[in-house]
């Protein structure tokens, strides 16, 4: 029983061994694989040997591989065909290579015809759809050109946000990897420039000079071999293409192995980035090798072709094992290149190729070197990850994935990428901005003592303070680049000048001044958020007010009119006197109490006639009037004359005072357009002129058409020239300018003013080159300054004059009121009349004192004192006839005089006083008549009663 069981067990084992031997072909199957190398591909050969060495030393793999190598001396399709046929005659089950140095696809065609898998590990241009059937046996583990092109497009467009750049390429094959980049900007193909290095092989400096000075490029995509990088960079450095705000993107996947890290120094401050295939992270817990072999250095340096060769070997070996170990019987390929040799393609080869298209990175042993490994149905690799890194410091920035997403590197990836290295990154140094500006008050000016200062210290102004505050917030340095103008576009060439040109050429990073945001400028530069709001208004000359004329009341009539008026008055006075003596109606009884007077009196003497003339002119009339018809007719004609003259005087006086008011020829833009005396203009090529030239509003169009028609030109080269022209032409020129500059000049000049209200809302902002990434930071900083009120404080500081300026600025329309100066002449006439009347009155008073002293037989001094004392006693309204004698008697009898009297005596004294005055008046006229003298003697008899009256009056 025991032996029977043992026998049965041995029999089963023998059967299993038999079937296993029959199934596997008898132990490990040995496959021959061929490879084609060029003479200088030592690193790729080491990787090829290393991959098969690891597979063959794996006892559990199930297959062993024998490699057959052929070396290609040159890129010759005939030689490639011969070497490929030699490999086929040796019975190889796969052919690796050659690299992309071979321009012919003869190997792929032969492999496709014989059914032998063909493994590629380098770039290859994707075959057209009709040629895919001729390459069905070819599998390429390198990323397809189409996928690499899409990856670059995604990185440049979505990650970097570039839409304008220059592509510099070394080979036409390399240009195919960038074909999608040329479709980034479909609207304007001029924004993407192409430069072929081969066209500049005689002198590379021409290439970089054209890029820097002609194209003014600051974003460059360079596709070249890593070995060519040093020569290209050393030449480009001469043209300042590695300064701050210059950006380079290097497309070669081996850039990290170039000489760039060795030549990197502080002169390379540009932002330089590149891409490479992302490798599988090593196991951190694996045992470190004590001896570093050459192949280990190759793998650690991430050299692309050796790594891809390794992955190609791993892919094929695992696919061959999966297919062959499932076969009942393995048949080695026996292929030949002779076309007359009847053979069928190796069917196992096709199964191996199909298996490679299904294998993932989790199904292979040993593992792939590169991440995200997958072959599509056409034998092309469309799944891979890319690291975006800085080749100057080997710092990994982000990882790109085929879905277009970007993810930060893991800590292990960063460590492997060199982020922990101590190499300085000069692109991260504190940036120095070149700030373009121009001399314009109060934005940018030289200090009074600038000749003793150096550098930035000699400048001052609103722009200087604003840039300093921005620099403090954003932590950057800056230098000023002074230009003559803001910048305008030449309509013939379309080219800009001034500060805008500097920004377009990237010779400046920021422009600050009174730069208005316009649509034309937005096409060539970008703007931050506004830091100041403004409008447009009219700057005009403020005429100095005419000197006030104190004799303005004389202006309504000319001098000859006044002279004739006075002469006429004198003549009329004489005519009145003469005609009155002719008219018997004007001779009247001087004493109405006598019915039969002895004499008649004519009141129209020179004095009364002159009084009537004056009263008529003054429209006041007179207390005496003519009685006879001739005199009344003459008076009526005189009144008519005075009525016309007075009315004409009043009308002309009102008109004269109205014309003397300070009135402007216009008060708004529309009235400025309608008048023809004052010319007007604006800054040539500035935003204000653009506003008028491009506006569709009727008044603005009319204003523009008038401005361009003025001769000489109404446009100026600067605001200062416009302000000076307004002053110089003194009311014959008006300047249309922005209200901020206008208010600054008006605050500092008494002979300037703003006419009309503000129109055309505008904004000032900082200008930066198109696509400048620091624009958003500048905008945020400006918003912070605005919220803190610092922008308002800056404007108040620089717009208000440091020294107080006192200007007498009368309003243009100040009503109809008259000043004291204009009416001063009237007051002078009044004062003169008062003075003359008082002089005459005093003279008359002194003459009366002389007469009283003579008549009353007293001294002049006593008469003067008596009269003066009476004058100063304002409460006494009645005056005695002889005040000198009554004064003496009142003094001598002052102690014993009585203070009372009866009403009848008082009445008698009053009557005697009146009679005495009548006597003195009539005496001078009728002294030659005896009868009058008799009457006077009778009146003198009442002296005693008047004396008594005087004593009581002065008591």
Same domain flag for 186 and 268: yes
Residue 246: how many CB atoms within 10 A of its CB? 21
738 is in an annotated binding site: yes
Instruction: Identify the residue whose tokens are 């030699």.
Output: 86
What is the spatial distance between Cα 477 and Cα 928, in angstroms, rounded to a whole number? 118
Given this model, what pLDDT does residue 127 score?
57
What is the spatial distance between Cα 619 and Cα 647, in angstroms, rounded to a whole number? 11
Instruction: Identify the residue whose tokens are 């103008």.
Output: 485
326 is in an annotated binding site: no
Which strand (E) or helix (H) includes residue 865?
helix 860-872
Q: Is 417 a member of any domain?
A: no
Same domain flag for 187 and 225: yes
The sign one gets for the Cα dihedral 811, 816, 818, 822 is: positive
Q: Is 797 a member of any domain?
A: no
Sheet holding 118-120, edge to edge: 63-72, 29-38, 95-96, 118-120, 138-140
Q: Is 204 a member of any domain?
A: yes
Residue 194's beta-bridge partner residues?
167
Using alpha carbons, list the distances in angstroms from residue 142 to 175, 382, 466, 605.
17, 9, 54, 138
Q: Is 298 a member of any domain?
A: no
Same domain flag for 174 and 268: yes
Helices (H), 270-303: 294-300
HEC readout, 587-619: EECCCCCCCCCCCCEECCCHHHHHHHHHHHHCC
688 is in an annotated binding site: yes
Q: Is 855 a member of any domain?
A: yes
Same domain flag for 273 and 353: no
Q: Which of 866, 901, 935 is the C-terminal boundary of a domain?
A: 866
Using alpha carbons, list the distances in angstroms from residue 505 to 417, 500, 524, 919.
35, 9, 10, 116
39 is in an annotated binding site: no
How far out from the chain centre does Cα 642 lie? Answer: 69
Q: Are strands 374-375 and 381-383 parallel, antiparallel or unpaired?
A: antiparallel
Give, rounded to a whole angstrom, the gap between the first and last alpha carbons of the chain.
192
Residue ranges making up the domain that contains 650: 552-586+601-658
7-16 burial: b if 16+ Cβ within 10 Å, else e: eeeeeeeeee
Residue 568: how many CB atoms within 10 A of its CB? 15
Using alpha carbons, list the distances in angstroms from residue 177 to 50, 124, 380, 383, 600.
30, 10, 15, 16, 139
Given this model, what pLDDT does residue 818 score?
61
What is the spatial distance between Cα 862 and Cα 868, in angstroms, rounded to a whole number? 10
Same domain flag for 461 and 566: no
**Residue 162 tokens, joined:** 């570039």
Given this model, what pLDDT does residue 924 score?
40
775-787 and 462-474 helices cross at what angle (nearest 10)? 110
Q: Is 245 left (phi over 0), alpha (psi -120 to 50) or beta?
A: left
Same domain flag for 151 and 222: yes
Same domain flag for 206 and 95: no
What is the mean pLDDT of each successive set of 10 residues along the chain, which is 955 residues long?
48 45 54 93 94 91 92 90 92 93 87 93 67 82 90 90 89 86 68 90 92 87 92 91 89 90 87 93 68 88 93 96 87 75 79 93 91 91 92 91 87 50 73 92 90 89 94 92 90 90 90 91 93 91 73 77 85 82 77 77 82 80 79 81 83 72 72 89 87 88 91 88 90 90 86 87 91 89 94 90 66 54 65 75 82 81 81 73 54 42 41 40 42 53 42 39
CATH classification at residue 623: 1.10.287
Contacts (Cβ under 8 Å, ≥6 apart) of 126: 144, 145, 146, 380
Q: Among candidates 351, 338, 317, which has minimal Cα distance to 141?
A: 317
What is the spatial distance between Cα 433 and Cα 508, in angstroms, rounded to a whole number? 7
Q: Is 539 a member of any domain?
A: no
Rounded to two decimals, the pTM is: 0.66
> Are 751 and 810 spatial neighbours (Cβ–Cβ below 8 Å)?
no
Same domain flag for 153 and 234: yes
Q: Which of 637, 658, 679 is the C-terminal boundary of a domain?
A: 658
Same domain flag for 42 and 71: yes
Same domain flag for 476 and 581: no
**Residue 414 tokens, joined:** 């960063």
**Residue 855 tokens, joined:** 């008549």
> Are 496 and 730 spatial neighbours (Cβ–Cβ below 8 Å)?
no
What is the spatial distance between Cα 532 and Cα 740, in angstroms, rounded to a whole number? 9
Number of folded domains that form the chain:
5
Same domain flag for 558 and 511: no
Contacts (Cβ under 8 Å, ≥6 apart) of 907: none
Given this model, what pLDDT does residue 717 score?
87
What three-state secondary structure class fits 575?
Answer: helix
Same domain flag for 516 and 470: yes
CATH classification at residue 111: 3.40.50.2300
> Are 445 and 461 spatial neighbours (Cβ–Cβ below 8 Å)?
yes
Q: What is the DSSP letter of 293?
A: -
Q: Is 812 a member of any domain?
A: no
Given this model, what pLDDT does residue 7 score?
46
Our CA angle for 873, 878, 882, nearest 5°, is 95
Instruction: Identify the residue whose tokens are 């009442």.
Output: 942
Q: Is 940 a member of any domain?
A: no
328 is in an annotated binding site: no
């Amino acid at each position: 029983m025991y032996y029977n069981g043992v026998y049965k067990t041995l029999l089963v084992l023998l059967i299993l061994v038999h079937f296993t031997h029959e199934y596997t072909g008898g132990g490990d199957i040995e496959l021959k694989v061929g490879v084609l190398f060029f003479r200088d591909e030592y690193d790729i050969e080491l990787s090829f040997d290393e991959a098969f060495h690891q597979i063959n030393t794996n006892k559990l793999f199930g297959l062993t591989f024998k490699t057959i190598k052929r070396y290609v001396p040159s890129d010759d399709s005939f030689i490639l065909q011969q070497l490929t046929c030699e490999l086929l005659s040796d019975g190889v089950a796969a052919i690796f290579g050659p690299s992309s140095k071979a321009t012919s696809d003869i190997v792929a065609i032969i492999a496709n015809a014989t059914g032998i898998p063909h493994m590629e590990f380098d770039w290859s241009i994707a075959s057209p759809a009709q040629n895919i059937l001729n390459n069905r046996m070819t599998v390429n583990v390198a990323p397809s050109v189409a996928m690499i092109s899409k990856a670059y497009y995604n990185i440049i467009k979505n990650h970097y946000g570039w839409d304008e750049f220059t592509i510099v390429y070394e080979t036409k094959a390399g240009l195919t990897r960038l074909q999608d980049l040329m479709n980034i900007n479909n609207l304007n193909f001029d924004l993407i420039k192409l430069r072929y290095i081969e066209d500049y092989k005689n002198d590379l400096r021409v290439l970089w000079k054209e890029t820097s000075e002609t194209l003014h490029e600051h974003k460059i995509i360079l596709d070249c071999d890593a070995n060519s990088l040093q020569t290209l960079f050393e030449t480009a450095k001469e043209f300042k293409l590695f300064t701050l705000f210059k950006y380079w993107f290097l497309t070669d996947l081996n850039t990290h192995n170039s000489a760039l890290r060795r030549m990197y120094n502080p002169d390379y401050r540009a932002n330089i980035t590149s891409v490479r295939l992302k490798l599988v992270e090593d196991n951190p817990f694996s045992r470190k090798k004590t001896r570093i072999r050459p192949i280990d250095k190759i793998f650690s340096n991430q050299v692309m072709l050796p790594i891809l060769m390794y992955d190609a070997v791993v892919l094929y070996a695992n696919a061959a094992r999966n297919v062959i170990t499932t076969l009942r019987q393995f048949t080695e390929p026996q292929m030949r290149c002779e076309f007359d040799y009847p053979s069928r393609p190796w069917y196992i080869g096709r199964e191996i190729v199909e298996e490679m298209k299904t294998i993932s990175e989790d199904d292979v042993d040993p593992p792939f070197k590169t991440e995200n490994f997958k072959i599509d149905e056409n034998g092309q690799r469309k799944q891979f990850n890319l690291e975006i890194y800085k080749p100057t410091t080997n710092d990994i920035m982000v990882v790109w994935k085929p879905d277009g997403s970007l993810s930060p590197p893991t800590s292990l990836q960063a460590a492997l990428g060199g982020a922990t290295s101590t190499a300085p990154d000069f692109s991260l140094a504190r940036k120095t901005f070149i700030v373009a500006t121009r001399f314009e008050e109060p934005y940018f000016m030289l200090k009074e003592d600038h000749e003793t200062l150096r550098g930035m210290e000699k400048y001052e102004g609103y722009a200087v303070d604003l840039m300093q505050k921005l620099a403090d917030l954003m932590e950057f340095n800056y230098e000023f680049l002074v230009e003559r103008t803001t910048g305008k576009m030449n309509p013939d060439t379309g080219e800009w000048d001034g500060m805008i040109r500097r920004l377009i050429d990237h010779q400046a990073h920021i422009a600050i001044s009174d730069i208005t945001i316009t649509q034309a400028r937005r096409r060539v530069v970008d703007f931050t958020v506004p830091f100041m709001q403004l409008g447009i208004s009219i700057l005009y000359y403020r005429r100095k007010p005419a000197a006030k004329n104190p004799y303005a009341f004389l202006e309504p009539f000319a001098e000859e009119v006044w002279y004739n008026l006075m002469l006429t008055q004198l003549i009329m006075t004489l005519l009145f006197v003469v005609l009155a003596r002719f008219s018997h109606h004007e001779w009247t009884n001087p004493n109405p109490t006598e019915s039969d007077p002895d004499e008649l009196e004519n009141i129209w003497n020179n004095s009364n006639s002159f009084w009537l003339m004056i009263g008529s002119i003054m429209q006041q009339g007179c207390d005496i009037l003519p009685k006879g018809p001739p005199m009344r007719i003459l008076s009526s004609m005189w009144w008519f004359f005075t009525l016309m003259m007075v009315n004409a005087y009043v009308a002309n006086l009102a008109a004269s005072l109205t014309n003397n008011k300070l009135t402007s020829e216009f008060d708004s833009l529309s009235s400025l357009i309608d008048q023809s005396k004052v010319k007007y203009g604006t800054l040539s090529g500035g935003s204000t002129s653009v506003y008028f030239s491009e506006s569709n509003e009727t008044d603005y169009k009319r204003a523009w058409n008038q401005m361009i028609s003025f001769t000489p030109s109404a446009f100026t080269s600067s605001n200062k020239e416009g302000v000076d022209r307004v002053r110089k032409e003194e009311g014959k020129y008006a300047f249309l300018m922005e209200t901020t500059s206008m208010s600054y000049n008006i605050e500092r000049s008494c002979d300037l003013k703003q006419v009309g209200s503000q129109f055309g809302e505008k904004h000032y902002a900082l200008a930066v080159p198109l696509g400048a990434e620091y624009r958003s930071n500048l905008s945020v900083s400006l918003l912070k300054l605005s919220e803190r009120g610092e922008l308002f404080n800056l404007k108040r500081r620089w717009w208000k004059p440091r020294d107080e300026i006192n200007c007498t600025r009368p309003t243009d329309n100040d009503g109809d009121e008259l000043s004291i100066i204009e009416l001063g002449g009237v007051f002078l006439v009044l004062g003169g009349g008062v003075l003359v009347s008082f002089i005459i009155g005093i003279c008359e008073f002194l003459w009366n004192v002389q007469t009283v002293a003579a008549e009353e037989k007293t001294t002049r001094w006593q008469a003067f004192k008596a009269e003066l004392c009476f004058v100063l006693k304002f409460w006494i309204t009645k005056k005695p006839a002889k005040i000198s004698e009554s004064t003496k008697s009142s003094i001598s009898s002052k102690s014993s005089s009585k203070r009372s009297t009866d009403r009848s005596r008082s009445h008698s004294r009053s009557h005697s006083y009146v009679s005495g005055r009548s006597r003195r008046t009539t005496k001078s006229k009728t002294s030659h008549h005896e009868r009058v003298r008799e009457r006077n003697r009778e009146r003198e008899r009442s002296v005693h009663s008047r004396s008594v009256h005087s004593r009581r009056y002065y008591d």
